[in-house]
Amino acid sequence: MHMNNQQVRVRFAPSPTGYLHVGGLRTALFNYLFARKEEGRFILRIEDTDQKRSIPGAVENLITTLTRTGVQHDEGPDVGGDYGPYIQSQRMQIYQEHIRKLLDAGHAYYCFCNEERLDKLREEQRKRKRPPMYDGRCRNLSKDEVEENLARGVPSVIRLRYPQEGKTVFDDIVRGRVAIDNSQVDDQVLIKSDGFPTYHFASVVDDHLMRITHIIRGEEWLSSVPKHIFLYESFGWEVPAFVHLPLLLNADRSKLSKRQGDVSVESYLEKGYLTEALLNFIALLGWHSADDREIYTLRELEEAFSLERINKAGAVFDLEKLNWMGGYYIRHLDVGYIADQARPFFEEAGIDIGDQEKYLKVIATARDYVFRLSDLVEHARMFYDSLVFTDEDRSLLGQEESKRILAYIIEALGRPGHWSPDDLSRLVKEAISDLGVKGKGFYFPLRLALFGSCHGPDIPTLIDILGRDESIKRLSRALHSE
C-alpha cells in the first residue's frame, strides 16, 4: 500500500441534507475503525456546497448522532484541527484559487450551454439509449469567445477537460484492479453557475489539503474515481488509496434507499434500539472477522477491524438479525445501564418508576422478553399500574380453589419478618404441599392476581419485585374481585 510512511488520515464527509442514514453511519464507522486500528486521525467534514439541499440544523444533528453512537471524530467543525475550516461553504476562497490553476493549465474550461440545451441533449441521448453526457460543445471555444461571453455576463459553469481516449486503471482495496473506459466518463461540472463547487471538485481539493491517505466510501462513487484521479494528476498531487464499501440491500436484494422506510439512525435510536447493538450490527454489513464472531463492542471492533476483510458482495440489512442483536445486548449489558437508558421511555409512557431498587428488579425481569428499550415499558407496566381483569380472569379468580390459594399466601405474607427471595421460594413449596395443589392450578391464579396474566415471571420474583405490602394489596383485591 502506498503512503505507508505517513500517518493514516481518513474522513467522513456527509452533506447536511437531513438525518444520518444507516449507510452513512456504516461509512463513518469503517473510517473511524480504520483510524483507530492504525492509530491515525478520523476527520469529519461537512459537504454543504449544494446549497439548495442543505437543511438548517442538520450539521448539529449529524454531530449529535455520531457522538451518541461513540463514533467520535478527531477533527471537525465542532472540535477544530489544523486543516480547517471543516465546512466546505467556508472554503470558497480555496476552491477559487484551485480552479484558476486548472483553467490556466487547460485542464478545465468554461461552458456557456444553458439548461434548455442540456435538457434537450439528455432527452435525445435517452431516446438513443446512450448514457447522458455533455457533448463537448464548449470544449474548444477560442480564448476570445470565452472572454467575450464572460464580459457579456453569459451564465457559465466550469467543466473538467477529461481525456476521451484510453482507459483509466486503478486499484481498489476491496475490488482489486478496476478499469474504466475514458469514453464513458463525462466532462464533469467542477464549478456550478452559482459559483459553488460540485462534490467532485471540492472533495478532491479538500482530501488533498486535509492530507487524506485512504478514501473509504460507498460503492456508488466507484465510477467517479477516474475523474478524481485525473484531478489529482492535473494538480500533480499524490493519489490516495481507494476503498469502496459494498452496497446495502433490502431483504429482497434491492438497494437500501433513503426513500425506503425508516433508514435514519435517529429513528432506530428513538425506537429504542441500543446504540451498542446498532453499531455491532452495522459493523457486520460488509465486513466480517477472521473467526466469524458476531458480538463485538466498539473497542473490540477497533482491535479486530481490517480493510482486507471487507466483502465485495452487497450486504443485506436484515432486521431480524438486528432484533436478535438488540435482545442480546439488552440482556447482557449491566442492568443499571439498561435501566438508565430505558428511563426516557418510561417517562414518555407516564409511568412514575419511583423506587430505584424496585425499578432495577423490574428491568432485570422484563429484559428477558424484549429487543428494544421501548418494549420494556409494556413488560413492566403491570408492576406500576393497577391491574384490569377480564370476565375470564374473574371467573378463574372466583373459583374456590383459587380463593384458598390467595387466602393462604395473604396470611403467610402477613406474618412478621423479612422475606428474602429464598424465603419466598420456600413459601411457594410449602403452599403447594399444604394446599395439595400444583402446576397451573397453583401458579395461574397467583400470577394473575399479582401480574395480571397467567404467564410470566415466577411467583417469588413477582412478590420480591412488588414488595410485601403491594403483593398483599393485589392478592386481596383479586380475592374480592367479583
- Amino acid sitting at position 270: E
**So what's the pLDDT on residue 17?**
84
Give me 87's grid cell.
Answer: 465546512
Q: What pLDDT, on the 0 to 100 scale, is given for residue 482?
A: 60
Amino acid identity at 309:
R
The pTM (predicted TM-score) of the whole model is 0.92
Model pLDDT for residues 196-248, shown as the tens digit of each residue: 999 999 999 999 999 999 999 999 999 999 999 999 999 999 999 999 999 99
Where residue 2 falls among pLDDT bands split at 50, 70, 90?
very low
Query: Helix, strand or coil for residue 254?
Result: coil
Judge whether residue 90 has pLDDT over 80.
Answer: yes
| Whole-number Cα distances in Å, 362 to 224, 385, 461 | 54, 13, 9
Return the higher-pLDDT residue of 291 and 210. 210
Residue 259 predicted with pLDDT over 60: no
What's the pLDDT score for residue 260? 52
- Of the residues 37, 192, 258, 271, only one is catalytic, namely 258
d(CA 477, CA 474): 5
Whether 12 shows a pLDDT value over 50: the answer reads yes
CATH superfamily of 265-376: Glutamyl-trna Synthetase; Domain 2 (1.10.1160.10)
> Can you tell me the distance from the alpha carbon of 278 to that of 285, in angstroms, rounded to the nearest whole number?
11
pLDDT at residue 261 tops 60: no
Mean pLDDT within 181-200:
95
Q: What is the pLDDT of residues 384-421, one digit of tens each?
A: 999 999 999 999 999 999 999 999 999 999 998 889 99
pLDDT band at 354 (very low <50, low <70, confident <90, very high): confident
- The residue written with cell numbers 426516557 in the block is 344
Residue 185's nearest CA partner among 206, 203, 160 is 160
pLDDT of residue 115: 92
pLDDT reported for residue 4: 53
Catalytic, 258? Answer yes
Name the percent of the chain lying above pLDDT 90. 89
Q: Rounded to whole angstroms, what are the CA distances from 170 to 175, 242, 278, 314? A: 10, 9, 34, 21
What's the burial of 122, exposed, middle or buried (CB within 10 Å: 0-12/13-18/19+)? middle
Residue 321: predicted pLDDT: 96
pLDDT tens-digit readout, 55-71: 888 899 999 999 999 99
φ/ψ of residue 11, rounded to 5? -140, 150
One-letter identity of residue 269: L
**Residue 406 and residue 186: Cα distance in Å, rounded?**
81
- What is the pLDDT, as a whole number, of residue 465? 96
Architecture, CATH, for domain 391-479:
Orthogonal Bundle (1.10)
Mean per-residue pLDDT, 75-82: 96
Contact 239, 233 (CB under 8 A): yes
Of 65, 57, 32, whose CA–CA distance to 273 is shortest?
65
Q: Which helix (H) or strand (E) holds 68?
A: helix 58-69
pLDDT score for 341: 97
Q: Note the pLDDT of residue 1.
A: 42
The residue to which cell 486521525 is assigned: 41
Mean pLDDT of 93-106: 98
Local structure of residue 46 (DSSP, 8 states): B
- 423-452 pLDDT, tens digit per residue, is 999 999 999 999 999 889 999 999 999 999
| % of residues, the chain, pLDDT over 70 | 98
Least trusted range by pLDDT, from 3-7, 79-83, 323-327, 448-452: 3-7
Residue 134 has what pLDDT? 95
* Residue 258 binned pLDDT confidence (cut-offs 50, 70, 90): low
Q: Where are the domains of the chain?
A: 265-376, 391-479
Q: How would residue 133 be classed by pLDDT, with cut points 50, 70 and 90?
A: very high
Give per-residue burial for 26-57: e unless 16+ CB within 10 Å, then b.
Answer: bbbbbbbbbbbbbebbbbbbbbbbbeeebeee
Whole-number average pLDDT of the chain = 94
Q: At 75, is the pLDDT very low, low, confident or very high (cuts 50, 70, 90)?
A: very high
Other beta carbons within 10 Å of 134: 20
